[in-house]
Structure 1
């Protein structure tokens, strides 16, 4: 039973949609990127690209920062590069893992034809948080290493 064929009601006198109208309706209902989905796809892709660029920039900055810190760090200075390397690894590795998980979850939402922009937005914010956390660990390691090297040089003088 359909809404147009209710028992006890006389049949409708108006004819149904023509074949051309039916074909147009079916074509519109099965488009891959309807307007609402297109905005979702664009915002998702942009957030994923920004997250990837942010991860690459973090990796380059982390490599340069670790190289500059470890160049002046030796046993006589009393510092170890482990904390600086750990902070850079947290920032870059964490952002990479979050980015990979975000891509997988976004593609899963696309396959299920669900909105995915919010997944990419949460992934982007989490990547920023992890990069900031790695930066704090890195800065703390560099500050504690610099403090110990200045105290060692002051004690030897």
Structure 2
């Protein structure tokens, strides 16, 4: 139905750029429901511009479109927009290949039994590189020994080693 409307207007070919913008906004509305509020703001700006230029026909068209948009915005849309505003923005993680970056960490869940786990994960493939049980992960010689054994096993040194901000890997 909308595409027929666009086709009829395109045949006349005597419309202004504002009308083209309105049609573009309508198509965006059909493609993505999330853009409703942005579309609403743009329409309000266009309303102000048209009021200043005193173009009544376009103003009436825009008011009808604005009413239609206001009727289609539901409570679910508002909840979705509020939730997405407070969502954490994740960083893009890039890695150049296997063993380029490894991530190491110590786990102290079994310290009451005198056991501490220490592990590493490859940043590219997410494969577990080692998981060792030690008596302490605060002793840097133990962690260094595990790392040296790993380097001997794979025959190369990782370019980047990442760990958390704790003190066990110092």
- More helix, by proportion: 1
TM exceeding 0.5:
no
Higher relative contact order (CA 8 A, sep 6+): 1
